[in-house]
Amino acid sequence: MGSLQTPDLPPSNLPSIVLVHPTQKELHATRTLNGESWRHELSLPAYLRRETHLENQDLTKNGGITCWILVDGLAEPNKRPILASCESLRKRALIAREDGKVEESISHGIGSVFCNPEFRHRGYAQRMIEELATKLDTHQQAAGQKAYFTVLYSDIGKTFYSRRGWHAFPSSHIALPPVSDEQEGTFPCINTRPLYSHDLAKLCEQDERILREKMSTNMPSDSKIRVALIPDVHTMTWHHAREEFAAKELLNRAPEIKGAYVKTDSGDQVWCIWTRMFGPDNTLHILRFMIEGETLAHSGEHEPRNLEHSDHSRVRAARAVLQAAQLEAGKWPMQQVEIWNPTPLVILAARQINPSIRVIHREEESITSLRWHGDPGEHTKVEWLLNEKYGWC
């Protein structure tokens, strides 16, 4: 593209620059442009249809998704240059302080941060993120209330967003290889029950109830503020709408198995909910790994503290659902199974499958980042619980 086609661009500190919602035409233009970066194997028309499909899920419809563009507020809609763009997805969240009171609140996850390649390095993305911080203080909050926290998943390292208040949190994972049908016979595993879409609502409700109980009873003695995005069914089905769209488009079949479930000898439930991500590296991601009765691990804690007797059967059950994930990955063109911020018991389970499993700490991609919108002095006290893949957007 020659510079002749580049419109006159305002300096990024121009006072009239504002963050607004795009018109339909502007949204289409934005997605047509960012599709080149994010559509991967999908054709551009399919990518545009996917984005519309994802806007109409339980999580996103009725204002659940908000599209933002940075423009000169004095310029005319549909004619103004779109200086940068992004989206925010409304998410239910829990916050617990020392007094044991658990409060539900609205949080947002930011995604699709993008600047036209011809407009880059002029400070527009920076200005957009600063404007967004102010918008998200009150966006969709009840009158007089302020957001407690918002999140994003940076693919450009830790510096850019942390300078603007979204600080990097533990961003680790473990990965296991797929297991093929031929290998299945030599792969000793406990039988697990496959999870289908219709199983998820009940399990997510249980998960939320257990999370609320844990947050209110295991209060931090060290004046931490504990926060979590609620792993609810609308969040899971948004991921599944994404995988089903891509699978139908690329492979002409839709994945039905959404996870695996098993009970330990003593009756504790262990399950994981997964999704397949089709991209440059096809990965079966564990969205949520739930081990009933597991002690609430500190975020970033990898080594188990004192293992109780019942933990050994939890580890065996966790190994079984991991193996079910490996088998499922083998039935799809998935290159690996990935588990984000695994708890000590999940790591032990993975090491029973492969003793040399290492915890990988990401430095550039998918850096889980959180902004505390409350008192700035409090941000170092924030502990992000259940910082797993389901929160990604």
Ligand X SMILES: CC(C)(COP(=O)(O)OP(=O)(O)OC[C@H]1O[C@@H](n2cnc3c(N)ncnc32)[C@H](O)[C@@H]1OP(=O)(O)O)[C@@H](O)C(=O)NCCC(=O)NCCS
Task: Quote the distance between the C-alpha of residue 303 and its chain's center.
Answer: 24
Regarding 165 and contact with ligand X (CB under 6 A), the answer is: no
Regarding 230 and contact with ligand X (CB under 6 A), the answer is: no
Q: Tell me which stretch binds ligand X (CB under 6 A): 53-61, 148-156, 209-217, 257-265.
A: 148-156
Regarding 60 and contact with ligand X (CB under 6 A), the answer is: no
Tokens representing 308 are 């109780």
Site string for ligand X, 27-46 (x = CB under 6 A): ----------x---------
Regarding 309 and contact with ligand X (CB under 6 A), the answer is: no
Q: Which is nearer to ligand X, 12 or 326 (CB)?
A: 12
Q: Can you tell me the distance from the alpha carbon of 292 to that of 280, in angstroms, rounded to the nearest whole number?
A: 34
Minimal distance, residue 47 CB to ligand X, in Å: 14
Regarding 6 and contact with ligand X (CB under 6 A), the answer is: no
Residues 6+ apart with CB under 8 A from 75: 81
How many residues sit close enough to ligand X to count as binding (CB under 6 A)? 17
Q: Which is nearer to ligand X, 122 or 193 (CB)?
A: 122
Site string for ligand X, 107-126 (x = CB under 6 A): ------xxx----xxxxxxx
Q: Can you tell me the distance from the alpha carbon of 366 to that of 388, in angstroms, rounded to the nearest whole number?
A: 11
Contact 275, 308 (CB under 8 A): no
Minimal distance, residue 112 CB to ligand X, in Å: 8
Regarding 366 and contact with ligand X (CB under 6 A), the answer is: no
Q: Can you tell me the distance from the alpha carbon of 120 to that of 82, in angstroms, rounded to the nearest whole number?
A: 12
Select from 156, 190, 251, 254 the one that contacts ligand X (CB under 6 A): 156
| Complete DSSP assignment for 336-360 | EEEEES--HHHHHHHHHH-TT---E
Regarding 269 and contact with ligand X (CB under 6 A), the answer is: no
Regarding 155 and contact with ligand X (CB under 6 A), the answer is: yes
| Complete DSSP assignment for 241-301 | HHHHHHHHHHHS------EEEEE-TTS-EEEEEEEEE-SSS-EEEEEEEEETT---PPTT-
Tokens representing 243 are 């995988």
Give me the residues that bind ligand X (CB under 6 A), please.
37, 84, 113-115, 120-126, 154-157, 160
